[in-house]
Amino acid sequence: METYDALLASISPVSGPTRTILDPATGAAVGEAPVHTLGYLEEVVAAAQAAQPAWAALGHEARSAALLKAADAVERSAEELARLLSREQGKPLNGPNARFEVGACVAWLRATATLALEPETIVDDGATYAELHYKPIGVVGAIGPWNWPMMIAIWQLAPALRMGNAVVVKPSGNTPLSVLALVKVLNEELPEGILAAVSCGREVGSRLTEHPAIGKIMFTGSTAAGRAIIKSSADTVKRLTLELGGNDAGIVLPDADPKAIAEDLFWGAFLNTGQTCAALKRLYVHEDIYDAVCTELTAVAAAMPMGNGLDENNVLGPLQNKQQYDVVANLVDAARRSGARILLGGNPDTDQPGYFYPTTLVADIDNDNPLVAEEQFGPALPIIRYSSVDDAIAKANALEVGLGASVWSSDLPAARAVAARIEAGTVWINKHGAVDPRIPFGGAKQSGYGLEFGVEGLKALGVPQVING
């Protein structure tokens, strides 16, 4: 285990171009990130190609053992990684934030390492015998976002490595240090060459998506960027797993208990200060309990402290970057001008440092308002009144995205019946955004395609091969 300063120094370049990474809470420098070149990308891809066959030949049991040791290494450096993540991304150490994210990396590595994937007997009727196997793809490119940089990197690289692939990770330019540090720690227990990180600009990133030696791209990010990756990967017919933008709806049925669900509604919407792809981003509440839900949710939200992530008391932090801050501020301002009612927040202190936007709840808002129709990706939740469940479902399904959704009710069969009618990859009941390494996760419509997590996620990192005879 290294100290925080030693860990940061170990990923700081000794030569070549760099970028200064700033703390979104204070504007202070966190550290220097390398700006890797096309030549560096070619080096790590070639090293991955060379190392991958031996890694694949080890077999599932040995690879799983290596991932378990890698999980131990992350656990040993957990506090240092969490502190770096908090400073670079902005999320607080406590609450479901930086320490939670690093802990989730450890848990996900261990869960992925212990998933069983056996050959499937497809036909065995005496005349025909056929088995389905999954072979490594080769080299996988993993492109991650800035909101959960470490955890999403693990979601991508853990199953890829488990299946016998080598991996080249490209972190977001906003949060490269966290991922570089994570990869450095993982490589303490992994064979040389099978895992590398490339901190680079758009030109080098584009080369990764079109590189002929990359057999698959895993990408988490915006729908627009996903479309660009589909195009750039087409000439080499790469396999793709795309987890793209979402604007998740939650529907509160009239029999729900407003006080009982208020805190879970809050964290469904404001986890990571709202900067989560599968966060609750538009809440539909039946008119019978609309005012009560607004009152209870406001009380919970008002009690949640926001501030610098290194302050142990805070559970909400800043937006990670100025661009996202402006998106949230502009959408809330437009909602206010339209006549929507601001229950809480909406009044940022522009004199303080950092990209802090206050926890904001907006009521009495039209469904076609931009704060409802566009993904805000920040701490502002619109609450829409409805009178007919059919109407709420139609509004929930009206957008072109469908990552997640939720239904809130005291009647479980009724909630499940509503959930089955919602067009989303995952529909939670009486919770929102709860992912599990055993349960497949993926989007519908323009929220992407392909599955992650669980056995289905492992299969997505392999090439199916049928042995017939």
Tens-digit pLDDT profile for residues 423-453: 999 999 999 999 999 999 999 999 999 999 9
Residue type, position 242, single letter: L
From 105, 277, 296, 375, active-site residue? 277
Radius of gyration of the chain measured on its C-alpha atoms: 23
Is the pLDDT assigned to residue 258 strictly greater than 90? yes
pLDDT value of position 246: 94
- Domains of the chain in start order, with CATH, are 4-244+447-468 (3.40.605.10), 248-436 (3.40.309.10)
Judge contact between 193 and 173, C-beta under 8 A: no
- What does the CA dihedral 298, 299, 301, 303 come to, rounded to 10 degrees? 150
Report the percent of the chain where pLDDT is more than 70.
100
**3-class secondary structure per residue, the chain:** CCCHHHHHHHHCCCCCCEEEEECCCCCCEEEEEECCCHHHHHHHHHHHHHHHHHHHHCCHHHHHHHHHHHHHHHHHCHHHHHHHHHHHHCCCCCCCCHHHHHHHHHHHHHHHHCCCCCCEEEEECCCCEEEEEEEECCEEEEECCCCCHHHHHHHHHHHHHHCCCEEEEECCCCCHHHHHHHHHHHCCCCCCCCEEECCCCHHHHHHHHHCCCCCEEEEECCHHHHHHHHHHHHHHCCEEEEECCCCEEEEECCCCCHHHHHHHHHHHHHHHHHCCCCCEEEEEEECCCHHHHHHHHHHHHHCCCECCCCCCCCCECCCCCHHHHHHHHHHHHHHHHCCCEEEECCCCCCCCCCCCCCCEEEECCCCCCHHHHCCCCCCEEEEEEECCHHHHHHHHCCCCEECEEEEECCCHHHHHHHHCCCCCCEEEECCCCCCCCCCCECCEECCEECCECHHHHHHCCEEEEEEEC
Q: Is 320 exposed, middle or buried (0-12, 13-18, 19+ CB in 10 A)?
A: buried
pLDDT grade for 1, boundaries at 50, 70 and 90: confident
93 to 316, 439, 462: CA distances (angstroms): 10, 27, 36
Taking residues 216-241, report their average pLDDT.
96
Residue 415 CB neighbour total at 10 angstroms: 22
HSE-CB of 6 using CA atoms within 13 angstroms = 5
Look at phi and psi of residue 375 and say left if phi exceeds 0, alpha if psi is from -120 to 50, else beta. beta
Tens of pLDDT along 404-422?
999 999 999 999 999 999 9
Return mean pLDDT, the chain.
97
Judge contact between 371 and 365, C-beta under 8 A: yes
pLDDT grade for 350, boundaries at 50, 70 and 90: confident
CA distance 249 to 124: 45
Look-up: residue for tokens 């992407």? 448
Taking residues 233-238, report their average pLDDT.
96
Judge contact between 244 and 224, C-beta under 8 A: no
**29-60 exposure pattern, b = at least 16 Cβ within 10 A, e = fewer:** ebbbbbbbbeebbeebbebbeebbeebbeeeb
Taking residues 151-155, report their average pLDDT.
98
**183-212 exposure pattern, b = at least 16 Cβ within 10 A, e = fewer:** bbbbbebbbebbbbbbbbeeebbebbbbbe
pLDDT grade for 145, boundaries at 50, 70 and 90: very high
pLDDT value of position 64: 98
Instruction: Please provide residue 413's backbone torsions phi and psi, each rounded to the nearest 5 degrees.
Output: -60, -40
pLDDT value of position 315: 98
Judge contact between 423 and 445, C-beta under 8 A: yes
Q: Is 423 exposed, middle or buried (0-12, 13-18, 19+ CB in 10 A)?
A: middle
Residue type, position 156, single letter: Q
pLDDT value of position 2: 83
HSE-CB of 113 using CA atoms within 13 angstroms = 19
Q: Which of 454, 409, 406, 462 is nearest to 432 (CA)?
A: 406
pLDDT value of position 10: 94
Residue type, position 184, single letter: K
What angle separates helix 202-210 from helix 38-57, to the nearest 10 degrees? 40
Q: How far separated are the first and last CA of the chain, in Å rounded?
A: 52
The two beta strands, 448-449 and 462-468, are unpaired
Tens of pLDDT along 60-119?
999 999 999 999 999 999 999 999 999 999 999 999 999 999 999 999 999 999 999 999
Residue 277 a catalytic site member: yes
Is the pLDDT assigned to residue 175 strictly greater than 90? yes
From 88, 101, 243, 375, active-site residue? 243
Residue 200 a catalytic site member: no
